[in-house]
Amino acid sequence: GQNIDQPTEMTATEGAIVQINCTYQTSGFNGLFWYQQHAGEAPTFLSYNVLDGLEEKGRFSSFLSRSKGYSYLLLKELQMKDSASYLCAVRDSNYQLIWGAGTKLIIKP
Amino acid sequence: ETGVTQSPTHLIKTRGQQVTLRCSSQSGHNTVSWYQQALGQGPQFIFQYYREEENGRGNFPPRFSGLQFPNYSSELNVNALELDDSALYLCASSSGQGAYEQYFGPGTRLTVT
């Protein structure tokens, strides 16, 4: 079966750095996505990785290792508005997105 | 450029009823995907439409059906509603199956009582 695992909840302090991990087992691989979702709202696109390595985008970076079925999202200089759920999703061989359950990130002052 | 819109925002239905949810894709996008997101879970892929044809389907029963119109807007129909169908239904549009970015609408919150 297809499976994406990420921690249920993480807590971090404002101004700090946090790393959210994601491991996956899917039927084929056509890219890995990270989305941010605030409570009651739609997901918004953060990053896309299809090749191994690190993609940096401002305060957010995403890393991919296809051989290990592993990715992480790194958030730097945390702000209170970063409190949200972070969803990892993999596009499989049928170009369907398989989603993790999301990691709820709580930022404390 | 108009973003993805969905209607209605909220809906309450009774078990056994039928419901139709609507989605207008972003300008220039010809692909629409529908997702069901239960509380505290990630979205689950229902199906995708590309140029008016169903182009992929997740593990949902046939009572979940859809349409895409020539202007690329889309409908999701659910028959014989069950309590477990209560969820946020998200529509996302993109410029093709292989496009790396999908743009999500605000969702329709469906409650089945």
What does the pLDDT look like over B9-21, one tens digit per residue?
Answer: 999 999 999 999 9
- B101 pLDDT tier (thresholds 50, 70, 90): confident
Residue B39 has pLDDT above 70, yes or no: yes
Q: What is the mean pLDDT of residues B65-72?
A: 94
B2-36 as b/e, with b when 16 or more CB fall inside 10 Å?
A: eebebeeeeeebeeeeebebbbbbbeebbbbbbbb
Mean pLDDT over each residue of chain B, to the nearest integer: 92
CB A84 within 8 A of CB A38: yes
Strand B44-50 versus strand B103-104 pairing type: unpaired
pLDDT at site A75: 98
- A2 pLDDT tier (thresholds 50, 70, 90): confident
Q: How far apart are CA B27 and CA B5, in angstroms?
A: 11
Q: How far apart are CA A6 and CA B48, in angstroms?
A: 25
The one-letter amino acid at A6: Q
Minimum Cα–Cα distance from A37: chain B residue: B42
pLDDT at site A94: 82
CB B111 within 8 A of CB B8: no
Whose CA is closest to A40, among B90, B76, B16, B98?
A: B90
Q: What is the mean pLDDT of residues B35-55?
A: 93
pLDDT at site B95: 86
* Chain B residues with beta carbon closer than 8 angstroms to that of A45: 101-103
Please count the other Cβ atoms lying within 10 Å of the Cβ belonging to residue A21: 15
Give the bridge partners for B5, in sequence order: B24
CA distances to A93, B33, B48, B86 from B89, rounded to whole Å, are: 24, 11, 13, 9
Q: What is the mean pLDDT of residues A99-103?
A: 96
Q: What is the mean pLDDT of residues B75-97?
A: 94
Q: How far apart are CA B72 and CA A12, in angstroms?
A: 42
- B98 pLDDT tier (thresholds 50, 70, 90): low
Mean pLDDT over each residue of chain A, to the nearest integer: 95
Residue B97 has pLDDT above 80, yes or no: no
Please count the other Cβ atoms lying within 10 Å of the Cβ belonging to residue A87: 27
Residue B1 has pLDDT above 60, yes or no: no
- Most confident option among A20-24, A36-40, B68-72, B102-106: A20-24
CB A75 within 8 A of CB A81: no
A and B: number of Cβ contacts within 8 A: 51
Candidates A2, A20, A99: best to mutate against B (most CBs of B within 10 A) is: A99
CB B33 within 8 A of CB B99: no
Q: Is A69 on the interface with B (CB under 8 A)?
A: no
The one-letter amino acid at A5: D
Extract the tokens encoding B97: 């199956």
Phi, psi of A81, deg, nearest 5: -70, -10
Residue B92 has pLDDT above 60, yes or no: yes
Extract the tokens encoding B20: 């139709």
Q: What is the mean pLDDT of residues A43-56?
A: 94
pLDDT at site A96: 85
